[in-house]
Each structure stands twice: as structure tokens, then as C-alpha cells.
Structure 1
Amino acid sequence: MLSFLLAFIPRAIVQGIPLLFGSTGEIITEKSGNLNLGIPGVMYVGGICGVIGSFFYERSVPSPSAMNPALAILIPMFCCLLGSLLMGLLYCFLTVTLRANQNVTGLAMTTFGVGFGNFFGGSLIKLVDSDVPSIALTATSSYFSKSLPFAKNLGGFGKLFLSYGFLAYVAVAIALAASYILNHTRVGLHLRAVGEGPNTADAAGINVTRYKYVATCVGCMIAGLGGLYYVMDYACGVWSNDAFGDRGWLAIALVIFTIWRPNVSVFASFLFGGLYILYLYIPSGMNHMEYQELYKMIPYIVTMVVLVATSMRRKRENQPPASLGLPYFREER
């Protein structure tokens, strides 16, 4: 049993980190009243932008050993954050400034993000003239996935808690920091006020448009890091088109499961990660191919159960922001 847990838990955590990035970013966005269903596309754009940056940096040096470790990390992270920021600005321009329908805009951005990633990913694959439809950035990936050197000497404790790349710890830190800011600071209070009642927040002197823009853009940048983590750490630097699966949608489901609480997302993302790969640990006597997709449905089924339970209890703190998905018309105040 212990050996099973030592093998299963680290893999579930690695699987859950992209979900943690995505759900934390979406929670911050939704707290401002914006419902961004474009998170899957944002994560895809964040991943491919990081790949583009690291691809050209690797090709600019004579050999992998000549790479600067700081640049190998900073260049893809900067490209990832920039691409995700532009997606956030596009979403805000359409939904906050132009007051377009948030559901339609989010779905359009998901389609756009996946197409953007596949186009540039396919272009990079053609540049390297690869025999397989993928590119490998193993040199850059080694810096992202490097764990603490003494983790292997600490046995089970080291494997469970210290055997991950730095972005895994960044994801946990961002989620905990977001929870603190939302619940214990004036900025968090203003942001929640904007999401609950923009008319009242505007009357109190809070700049509703600014908070919606900043929260959505920051949320997109955080979600974009989930795409970068998936490529550089989970996939070991290998990019192939349409490889993300439904992780972006799973991150959105995680927002509902955690009842809009970033600190709860830390544990819930690992739970969802474990449920997502549960089929790999089913006894070999069963037909995996037949039941694989059924096991992948478990996180969504759990989310629907939580949604039904919280709706029946009708506690205000367990409900989404009151103005979620609704455009704000200052003229009607």
C-alpha cells in the first residue's frame, strides 16, 4: 500500500498542478464578475508562447551546455505571461469595454487559442523537419523539472513533497496568496464588491472597469503558467498539437468544486489529478480502453454533485459572485 501511494500521489500532484494554475486564475477572474470560458485557450496560448521563446533561444546557442539557466527559465516564462496577458486584454476589451456576451466571447477565445497554438506549433515542427508531429525542448525542460538535489535522500518524504519542479511550488504559493488577498486585504474586498454588486461598488468610488481589467488579466497570466508547466515539466518539454486534452475545462470545473476558494483548490486540484489518472491504476484484468473515458468522467460527476449540494443548501458564501457573467452598464446605475 505504501509503495502504491508513493507512486500514485506524486503523479497525481504533477497532473493537478496545471489545474491549480487554471482554477486559481479563473477564480480571481470570476471574483470580478467576469466569466472567462476561454481559460482552455489561454492555457494553450501560454504553453505555445513559452515553447516559441525557448525554441528560438535553444537554437541561438551552439550547444545545450552553453545555455544560461536564468535565461532558459525567464525567456519562456516571459513569453508565456505576455501571450496570456494579451489574451486577457482581448477578453476584457470585448466584454468590459464593448460589453459583448461573456459566454460567447470565452468560447470563441478557446477556439482561437487552440487554433493559434496548433498553427504555430505545426510551424515549429516543420522548421525542425521532425519525423514525428512534435518538437522536444529537453534542454529547457531540464531546468523547469529540476527538483531539490537532496530530495532523493529523504525517502518517502522527499518523494512526496520535494521531488517537483519549481513551478509546482509557485502554483501553491500563488493560490495561497490569492486566498489571503481576496479575504484579508482592501484590494480583495474591493474586487469582491465589484463581483457582487458593481453598481454599489461604483457608487462607493471603486473603479469597476479597472478592477475587472486587472483581475482578468492577472487571472489569464496565472492560467497561462499552467500551460507552460504542462509542456515544460509534465510533458518533459515535448509539444504536440492537441495534447492538452480537456485540462482547461477541468480547471473551470475545479472552480465550482472549490466554491470559489483558491486555498481549497490546492488540495482539490491534486484530488482531481488523481481521479483523472485513476484508470492507469486499475487492475490489469479489466479492459482499460473500454472504461478509460468513464473514469475520466469522475471529476466532472463529482463537480456536479457539489454544485447540486451547494445549490440546495443556498448559503450565500457558497454561491458564485452575484454579477458573474453580466455586463456592467454604468448608465443604468
Structure 2
Amino acid sequence: MPTTPTPDLDELLAAAHVVRLPLRVRFRGVTQREVVLLRGPQGWAEWAPFTEYADADAARWLAAAVEAGWGLLPPPVRESVGVNATVPALPAREVEGLLARYDARRTAKVKVAEAGQELADDVARVREVRRVLGPGARIRVDANGAWSVADATRALAALAPVGLEYAEQPCATVTELVDLRLALARAGVDVPVAADESVRRAQDPLEVARRGAADLVVVKVAPLGGVARALEIIDQAGLPAVVSSALDTSVGLALGVRLAAALPVLEHDCGLGTGALLAADVVPAPLVPAAGELSVTRADAARESVDPAALTAYRMGAGDGPDASGGTWWRERLARAHALL
């Protein structure tokens, strides 16, 4: 794929709409999602690096948005992709109600290792997911790197009897993931390890594969700098890939669908069902799975159907936001990220 020329900053600022959308449940410690929507000649794009991320991280997210709005995407090789349900670190009693929002539930990703919770909470949540979904469903857990090697070994030994497809980023560092895979093998715990943050936030996203730190990789379009760059990393890693999202609007999710649809081989359902966590979206028909699938046709339509009324209703004013400057804060951040491209 050819490199997409970077638009001038003034063009990006003129195309930018800063919005704040409510969530149905707390996720990643937030109840609202702040997003910048950019209208480019090739369709709508999304730029939404989390507020705590450094400018260098934000620049990679901006490169992905530029590719989406101003560049060309690789052609799909499949018409639709399978999608998992996402279960935040809820009390077990709330799991059934949350899963009822998903049209099909053959695969679920369950958040674990939440600050302030115990392993018993994780076990209860995962067991409840298994009860609700039944014995044939695939369940994966995501610790976001919160466990030590010892804690991960103990936790996965406790969770393994429920039946796990894999554990996503159980430990923070590549070295810890290497040590964990050895510890699990020695303990006879058969749970594959997936790397997420160790790929998407790493200076060297291929270190995981070189060192044998994971059985598969989880990739997200925005943090890796776009669909084309993500495809290169997956190809070079030589490991099975799961395409996931970063609590995106339907515009951002559409890029994840295009990445998954372009992969030569796709063995696992993708983590692109997080639209169900939003209480409001920026398109009239939010991109949520139908029968456990998201189609390329619906994804492409989402990138052309942003609702002007939603942009107005959820617009962040100059006095809103992480430092009480809101839309201004995001525009200044956009200028800093643009300078790094």
C-alpha cells in the first residue's frame, strides 16, 4: 500500500469534531469516551488516543486516522468477521444482563485483575459467563498486564477449569510473558497466552514473536498506525492474530473490521463488539454485531453515515475536558501529534 501524504494541520483542524459519548458501564475506569471525528475525502476517520497517552502514542493513532480519511485501505478477502462479546469487570450478578445486549454470544472476552477486586471476583465473573453462554462458547480473559508472573500463574490455574481460549496480556512485560509461559507449562496449566499491549504500545512490536512470549497477538488499528502497518506487523510476527478495538465509535470499529477482513487467515473471533458498551454513538445505525458477525458492507457504510445531530448533541465545548479546556485541549493535542508525523 502506498504511504498516505499527511494533510496540513489546518486541514485536519477544519475537519475535526470533538465529542464525548456516554458509556453504559464503567470501562477502563471511565464512564464517558472522548473522541475526535475527522472528515476526510475518503470518509470519516476517528482519532481517540486515551487522555493519559503520550504525544508519541497519539501520533500513531493520528497516522491511522489519516490513512482512513485520506488514504486507501487494503481490499477485503472476506465479507464479514466474527466478533466476541466484551464483559467488563462487573459483579457476577450483572453478567447475564450485559450479555443479553449481544445478538450472538459464541465468544466472550472477560476483563479480570481489576484494581480493588480479588481473584475470587474474577473466578465468579468468568464462571457466570460460562453458565450464561454454555459449554460450547469460547471464553478469553484480559488482565491488561496487571498480574505478576506468580499471580498470573495462580489466577490462570484457578480459571483454567472454566475453559479458556486464551489469556490476553496477563503480565506487563515481554520478559514476564516468556517466564509465565514456562511457569504455566511446568504447572500443567493449558492456557495459551496472547500479547496486546506488548505489541501495540511497544517500541518493537515484533519482540513478542522473536522471544516466543505469546501464542498469538492482539492487534488494534489505531495504536499501530493504521491498517496497512498492522498487516505488516501481523505478517512479520507469524502468529495467529485477533483484531480488537480500543473502545471506539462505529467509525473506529469499521477500521478494525477492514483490517480483519483483509487478513489472509483469521482463526479467532475479533474484539470488535465494544460498540455495545456505548450508550450513544455517532452514526444512526451503530456498528454492533448481528448473529455474532460484522460485515464489511456495514463497516464501510458506518464511515459514510456520521450523524450531524450526534456531533452537535455530544460536542465538547471549549470549557469541557480533562483540563477544563475540552475541545481546545484536544485541538492542541492534535497539533502536537501532527508535528510528530
TM-score (norm 1): 0.24
Structure number with the bigger relative contact order (C-alpha 8 A, sep ≥ 6) is: 1
| Greater percentage in strand | 2
| Greater percentage in helix | 1
TM-score (norm 2): 0.24
